[in-house]
Amino acid sequence: MKTFEPRTNIPLLDKNAYLEVLVQGGQIYANLAYSHYGANRSYVLNHVQRFDRVEDLGVADFWVEYFSALERFLDWEFLRVPDVIDTGSDFLQGFVDEGKGVSGVSFRVDERISGREEISKIIESLLGEINFYTSGNNYRIELCKGLGERMAYEDVVIVNLDLLGAEVARSNGGHGKVHWDNEFALIDNIHNSKFKAFLSSGDSINKLTNLWANFILHPVDSSDDDSLKDLVRAYLTLQVLSIFNNNTKSFEKVGTQKSTLIVLTGEMLELLGEKELMIAIIDGLEIRGQFDLLIDSRHKLYSYGRRYVDGINAQDFIVNKELVINDMYKVLVPEVGTVNEKDKVIFQGAKIIAGEEDQSVNAIAPEVSEFELNQELKCLFDGKFVNSAYIDGDSVKKSDLFEMISQPNAASYAKVIIDGRFKPVVYGPNAKANSKKLNRWFRKIK
């Protein structure tokens, strides 16, 4: 059998396309990045597919069907013989032009996936001598360090949230994880008092147990069911909190540096909105201060992260920021006193956008407030925390003032989010009390 030979003599700034495939959790993430720097044209096509059984990954026919379907979905011709694959001949074709061929392929399998050696043999028999990697905590830690250097952050945290487990890695070398051996152990976890402590649904425990069991055995990527979303939010909060409690020294004081980036990855991200995901992480890691939040639901940054970090020194494919980073959120987690726990204004300021009228902004405790920014225009967001609210941190002097600039092709943000909940955040004593609190936290700003 011939092996796929990418065109290694292509100048990095010429037209090229690179396919990254990641197997993690219960899903397969494919990202095909195309760039033509001479024409200032670059983009990423992506596809996510859930697999039912990990055993399927060790079957050659599964991957033949997968790549055939992927080619059709991406509308990019990279198979030698579309639809009818003869595995005795070349399976992939080298890069020809936009929409046809690939310059190279990388295949990454998470260390928690069993049967990786058999998967490697099958993939290499189909695709030839490609880059095949196993990723885990070491990869995440190195990616944290690299992103810190590349993007000028003092502290970087990657939080991976999958159905059967979660991992947290930090640029200081800290890492921790929680993993469930099987679906049935996870189903039983709903009866754990710690799990119940974060729930707010008024449904009976029998109804919630049935809902949870159906979700675990038949996962979905999105849902309109409020009770399921509540279960997922409570579950993710407990997962991250468990990691934090078991590795306190590694993850203490996140958000207290001058610049902190938190990257979320994993198959659970699209079930919740950014505010629900955000409070799960804030409460799980007990965050104070401020940080930038990136929700990498399609694993573009996770997959191409090393090449982005390498910049112009990349050996095979140059990845710029626009290819791998979508919406970024600036998150502020101020100290807010609990005296009487009455609604009160805690932040007053202005949003000043070039060419538009200035807009006043106000954040009210105990709400989680969102303020949208125009990423295509330069925007100044500044103001002052009031009524004894303030931002504090190790390397940031205690302050009630805040100012930031968002601008295209630089530090661009989609939203500013202010967590105005009273600190410390307290759940309970029951689901009804949690429901009242969540309703106050998520009240929409008009």
Same domain, 362 and 403: yes
Same domain, 71 and 127: yes
Give me the CATH number covering residue 174.
3.30.420
- Whether 273 is in a domain gets the answer yes
Q: Would you state the pLDDT for residue 122?
A: 92
Same domain, 278 and 161: yes
- Whether 385 is in a domain gets the answer yes
Same domain, 92 and 53: yes
Q: Would you state the pLDDT for residue 77?
A: 93
Write the pLDDT tens digit of every residue in 377-388: 999 999 999 998
- Whether 353 is in a domain gets the answer yes
Same domain, 436 and 346: yes
pTM: 0.91
The full DSSP string for 342-366 is --EEEEEEEEEETTS--EEEEEEET
Cα separation, 343 vs 336, whole angstroms = 11
Same domain, 194 and 222: yes
Domain count, the chain: 3
Domain that holds residue 386: 327-446
Q: Which residues of the chain have pLDDT under 70?
A: 1-13, 81-90, 339, 393-398, 444-446
Q: Would you state the pLDDT for residue 80?
A: 75
- Whether 35 is in a domain gets the answer yes
Q: Is 240 left (phi over 0), alpha (psi -120 to 50) or beta?
A: alpha
The full DSSP string for 276-340 is HHHHHHHHHHT--EEEEEEE-TT-HHHHHHHHHHHGGG-SS----HHHH---EEEEEE-B---ST
Same domain, 358 and 259: no
- Whether 371 is in a domain gets the answer yes
